[in-house]
Structure 1
Amino acid sequence: MFNFLWGVLFVLVNFGLFLACYRLFGRNGLYVWIGAATVLANIQVVKTIEVLGIVATLGNTIYATIYLTTDLLNEKYGAKEANKAVWFGFFTLLMSMIMMQMVLVFTPQETDISQESLETIFGLMPRIALGSLTAYFVSQFMDVRLFSKLKDAFPGRNQLWIRNNGSSLLSQLVDTLIFTSIAFAGVYPWDVWWQIALSTYLLKFIVSAASTPVIYIARNFRFKDEASSAGQ
């Protein structure tokens, strides 16, 4: 029960920080969030927890906010900006993977206390990152395309929830199957792998559904520089 209650608070904090990042830094803040979320999600995913009897990995909450971010960019600024953010996140994840693997190769000094911890966190990173890069690349561009199609089919301002949740439903399923297969197949027993895959998808989609009010709030943010640019 503690993990569940703490998890609810964790989700709310993630949403609050997302809104603060956008409110403080505007559209640039969304790119910053994409970069930070892709890296943090792949660090958090190393930790396995149990929530209400379900085995799950961390990282699902902040990873789900990536869909929130690209959907918001698509909604307010168009598919081109959303795709740009996807590429930004892809590069950030690839950059962090390369740099941290090089960090691990350095011979630690005798009094160093961090090497083992870094190896524990980032030692699995090549496989996790490969799964994440592949899943991210496929699912995020799929999400942008699906959102755009749903935007054409359901263009109403009050139909944003259809565009947001509809695009996430399929793209997150694809993301989960690709990621868990590459990252964890053979690492955990199949019964544990199945629980992780199922819980990962459910948690991502629950967080995405819960983020619906957040994207409505964020859509209403107005920025002076954007208003002046629109008037030119």
Structure 2
Amino acid sequence: GASFFVALGVAVFGVTTINGQVWLAFAGALVVTVAVYLVGSAGRGGMDPAKLTLAGVALSAVLTGLVSAMTLLDPKAFNEMRYWNVGSIVNRGWDVLVPVLPFLGAGLVLAVIAASSLNAIALGDDLARSLGTNVALVRVLVVLAVTLLAGGATAVAGPIGFIGLMIPHIARWITGPDQRWILLYTILLAPSLMLASDIIGRIVQWPAEFPVGIVTSFIGAPVLIVLVRRKKASGL
């Protein structure tokens, strides 16, 4: 969603600066986060991780196709965004990161605040309410955290896929179901995976570089297949 809104801003409004793109990324992240939640919650049985994952993958495929179409229709406008569009940290220095840091920090604080309450919600909404958890408020905090973190990261480095699908499950295998520990290990493991993928991309195509988003896709697709086959792995 963040990627699509940024591409739309470039194609329609000519927005090419990080200060403009970050707001488009936040708007796209918010709209698509809500859309995925609504689609994943529809039908019998309400929301579950498998439905949320499928809804996210389906919407991602549609929006990725639209971004590709816009890129082909106006290649001159997207020439400087080619590497960003596949997810890359090449030439992404402090000048790009600093304007987004306050939003990333705010998103991280919201995620930490919501983490302990997610343990109660994992037991079911009714039981969570009986334990004194404000389920609606927690979900609002989570949506805001996702918007700020995913939107900010995408504005800086482009749409780097699969890290958000892989790392929380790996963290869960290490720590167990406590969301606070899952969040902590995710904060440590996610950048480690991205850095390792970037190094692999530099080695494979030396002296040029494979964009990190392509490398994470090669790693993430098999992991996603394993997660789909292991039902217990979806219990986040």
**Considering the TM-score relative to the shorter chain, is it more than 0.5?**
no
TM-score, normalised on structure 1?
0.37
TM-score, normalised on structure 2?
0.37
